[in-house]
């Protein structure tokens, strides 16, 4: 009986017993016209901890998490482990709409102290979604789905957060599911396409490189922009095969242009932190270079500051390895993420890309101009090249020239273009520059 109803690891009720309890609680609530809170919890980055610290550490974490969640609840509530790192909390007899929020806040608070895992202090957070009977639904299955949708919303808010269900969320979670299933087939069906945006020498306006930007052409959804699907690709791990495809295509394209124009054009490729966690990452990069014959010095990997924050990845080792073979490395969206600058000197970066949010107001806001100026000077004194992103107006190029910003990229020069259009741009731009 115990085995059928309880989770062996944590001793908590399992999914089956949890659903029974939920149905009982709903029946009771119908009789006395009370409310029931249904809470869906998912630990943030659990898979990551499991992968890096091992399964024993993962188990210890689940047991301790179960204990912490239980400590926040009254006797009439149920905590269950649904599987993996997912927990369900049933809160019967809620009085007032804030009662479940208060419980959620208590739970988030008990996750604040570090967990001791394999002799290390590890900070773990959880995301919580809440649905309420009868406000959100009177059906146990639907309540669970709604709480799950709210949980995704909480994750989106930036983790260690809770969210209550709202009707718009069920559309979002439906769209998510749909997108995920489309995405699984997209590579096979050839729905991905690379666009290329020129990166020019600020002083001369001549082309030096292109950034490969991913587009997803789906018959049902139309053209999907990366901001809409990359987060989901990261969450589902699909970014690994997609990222491999991107770097392979990008290297091939750059080699093609070289053969066509007789001169070397670098190619910049965006990589997600998630790709660094894949043990096959560096091999995939090397394979793309070998297969395309592109010189490693012509490949530049763009990395966001998020990666440096993620100190559980052997970031430094991987970056050094890539640096050793000659691949260039740049910090993308500089200035929007982490503000500890020490990483700039300890990691082998070559380039710093100033985020477009600073470049955009460089002529309107004094502070932005000062920031851009300071970033350029700092980068140069560290021996880094600088790219200004999001250059849209001619006046900005004057400012950037005066400040000796090495390279520029933005709509002023060209929007990201499909490969054929890019080749056309390349030819006309070359001619213009020869004149």
Q: Which residues bind ligand C2E (CB under 6 A)?
A: 197, 213-214, 225-227, 230, 243, 246, 270-272, 302, 332-333, 356, 389-392, 409-411, 416
Both tokens assigned to 378: 């700092």
Q: Which residue stretch of 12-20, 339-347, 388-396, 411-419 sits at the interface with Mg ion (rule: CB under 5 A)?
A: 388-396
Q: Which residue stretch of 32-40, 178-186, 305-313, 324-332 sits at the interface with Mg ion (rule: CB under 5 A)?
A: 324-332
Q: Tell me which of ligand C2E, Mg ion, none is bound by residue 129, counting a contact when its beta carbon lies within the kind-specific cut-off of 5 to 8 angstroms.
A: none
End-to-end CA distance of the chain: 85
Q: How far, in Å, CA of 423 to CA of 429, rounded? A: 10
Task: Name the minimum Å distance from CB 389 to Mg ion.
Answer: 5
Q: How far, in Å, CA of 258 to CA of 247, rounded? A: 17
Task: Name the minimum Å distance from CB 226 to ligand C2E.
Answer: 3
Residue with tokens 């000796």: 404
Q: Tell me which of Mg ion, ligand C2E, none is bound by residue 209, counting a contact when its beta carbon lies within the kind-specific cut-off of 5 to 8 angstroms.
A: none
Q: Which is nearer to ligand C2E, 44 or 249 (CB)?
A: 249
Task: Name the minimum Å distance from CB 409 to ligand C2E.
Answer: 6
Q: How far, in Å, CA of 261 to CA of 166, rounded? A: 55
Q: Which is nearer to ligand C2E, 68 or 328 (CB)?
A: 328
Q: How far, in Å, CA of 146 to CA of 135, rounded? A: 11
**Helix, coil or strand: residue 60:** helix
Indicate the length of the chain as a whole number. Answer: 435
Q: Which residue stretch of 57-65, 123-131, 301-309, 317-325 sits at the interface with Mg ion (rule: CB under 5 A)?
A: 301-309
Q: Which is nearer to Mg ion, 244 or 302 (CB)?
A: 302
Task: Name the minimum Å distance from CB 127 to ligand C2E.
Answer: 22
Q: Which residues pair with 222 in a beta bridge?
A: 218
Residue 349 DSSP code? -
Parallel, antiparallel or unpaired: strands 266-270 and 299-304: parallel
H helices present in 200-304, as ranges:
226-236, 239-261, 273-276, 281-292
Both tokens assigned to 23: 């149905």
Q: Tell me which of ligand C2E, Mg ion, none is bound by residue 272, counting a contact when its beta carbon lies within the kind-specific cut-off of 5 to 8 angstroms.
A: ligand C2E
Task: Name the minimum Å distance from CB 210 to Mg ion.
Answer: 11
Q: Which is nearer to ligand C2E, 170 or 396 (CB)?
A: 396
Q: Which is nearer to ligand C2E, 37 or 410 (CB)?
A: 410
Q: Tell me which of ligand C2E, Mg ion, none is bound by residue 416, counting a contact when its beta carbon lies within the kind-specific cut-off of 5 to 8 angstroms.
A: ligand C2E
Q: Tell me which of Mg ion, ligand C2E, none is bound by residue 226, counting a contact when its beta carbon lies within the kind-specific cut-off of 5 to 8 angstroms.
A: ligand C2E
Q: Tell me which of Mg ion, ligand C2E, none is bound by residue 392, counting a contact when its beta carbon lies within the kind-specific cut-off of 5 to 8 angstroms.
A: ligand C2E
Q: Which is nearer to ligand C2E, 100 or 292 (CB)?
A: 292
Please report, as residue ranges, which positions from 326 to 345 form the binding site for Mg ion (by CB under 5 A). 332-333
Three-point CA angle 196, 200, 201, nearest 5°: 160
Parallel, antiparallel or unpaired: strands 126-133 and 162-164: parallel
Residue with tokens 């894949």: 278
Burial of 114 by CB count in 10 Å (0-12 exposed, 13-18 middle, 19+ buried)?
exposed
**Helix, coil or strand: residue 320:** helix
Task: Name the minimum Å distance from CB 354 to ligand C2E.
Answer: 10
Q: Which is nearer to Mg ion, 10 or 270 (CB)?
A: 270
Q: Which is nearer to ligand C2E, 137 or 270 (CB)?
A: 270
Q: For residues 6, 10, 12 and 14, what is the CA-based torsion angle, rounded to 10 degrees? A: -50
Q: Which is nearer to ligand C2E, 123 or 411 (CB)?
A: 411
For residue 236, say if its preceding peptide bond is cis, omega within 30 degrees of 0.
Answer: no
Both tokens assigned to 26: 């709903």
Task: Name the minimum Å distance from CB 147 to Mg ion.
Answer: 35
**Helix, coil or strand: residue 399:** helix
Task: Name the minimum Å distance from CB 414 to ligand C2E.
Answer: 9
Q: Which is nearer to Mg ion, 145 or 330 (CB)?
A: 330
Q: Is 300 in the site for Mg ion (CB under 5 A)?
A: no
Question: Contact letters (x/-) for Mg ion, 252-291, by CB under 5 A?
Answer: ------------------x---------------------
Q: Tell me which of Mg ion, ligand C2E, none is bound by residue 246, counting a contact when its beta carbon lies within the kind-specific cut-off of 5 to 8 angstroms.
A: ligand C2E
Single out the residue of 75, 79, 77 nearest to residue 67, CA to CA: 79
For residue 62, give every residue at least 6 positions away whose Cβ sits within 8 Å of its Cβ, in sequence order, or none: 9, 10, 81, 85
Site residues (vs Mg ion, CB under 5 A): 270, 302, 332-333, 389
């Amino acid at each position: 009986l115990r085995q059928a109803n309880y989770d062996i690891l944590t001793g908590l009720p399992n999914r089956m017993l949890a659903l029974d309890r939920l149905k009982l609680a709903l029946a009771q609530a119908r009789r006395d016209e009370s409310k029931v809170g249904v809470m869906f919890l998912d630990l943030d980055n659990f898979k990551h901890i499991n992968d890096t610290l091992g399964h024993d550490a993962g188990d210890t974490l689940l047991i301790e998490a179960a204990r912490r969640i239980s400590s926040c609840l009254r006797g009439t509530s149920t905590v269950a482990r649904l599987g993996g790192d997912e927990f369900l909390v049933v809160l019967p007899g809620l009085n007032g709409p804030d009662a479940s929020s208060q419980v959620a806040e208590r739970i988030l608070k008990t996750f604040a102290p570090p967990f001791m895992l394999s002799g290390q202090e590890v900070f773990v957070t959880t995301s919580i979604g809440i649905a309420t009977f009868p406000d959100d639904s009177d059906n146990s299955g639907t309540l669970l789905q709604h709480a799950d949708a709210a949980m995704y919303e909480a994750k989106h808010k930036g983790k260690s957060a809770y969210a209550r269900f709202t009707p718009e969320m069920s559309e979002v979670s439906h769209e998510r599911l749909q997108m995920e299933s489309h995405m699984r087939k997209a590579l096979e069906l050839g729905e991905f396409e690379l666009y290329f945006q020129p990166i020019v020498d600020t002083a001369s306006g001549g082309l030096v490189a292109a950034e490969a930007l991913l587009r997803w052409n789906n018959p049902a959804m139309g053209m999907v922009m990366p901001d809409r699907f990359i987060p989901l690709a990261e969450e589902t791990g699909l970014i690994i095969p997609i990222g491999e495809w991107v770097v392979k295509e990008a290297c091939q394209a750059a080699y093609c242009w070289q053969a066509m124009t007789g001169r070397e054009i670098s190619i910049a490729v965006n990589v997600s932190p998630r790709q660094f966690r894949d043990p096959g990452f560096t091999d995939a990069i090397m394979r793309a270079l070998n297969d395309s014959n592109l010189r490693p010095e012509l490949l530049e990997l763009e990395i966001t500051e998020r990666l440096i924050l993620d100190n559980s990845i052997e970031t430094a080792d991987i970056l050094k390895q890539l640096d050793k073979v000659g691949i260039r490395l740049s910090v993308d969206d500089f200035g929007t993420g982490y503000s500890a600058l020490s990483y700039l000197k300890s990691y082998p970066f070559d380039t710093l890309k100033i985020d477009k949010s600073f470049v955009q107001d460089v002529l309107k806001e004094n502070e932005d101009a000062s920031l851009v100026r300071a970033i350029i000077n700092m980068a140069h004194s560290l021996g880094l090249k600088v790219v200004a992103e999001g250059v849209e107006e001619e006046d900005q190029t004057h400012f950037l020239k005066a400040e000796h910003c090495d390279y520029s990229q933005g709509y002023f020069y060209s929007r990201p273009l499909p490969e054929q259009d890019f080749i056309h741009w390349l030819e006309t731009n070359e001619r213009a520059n020869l004149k």
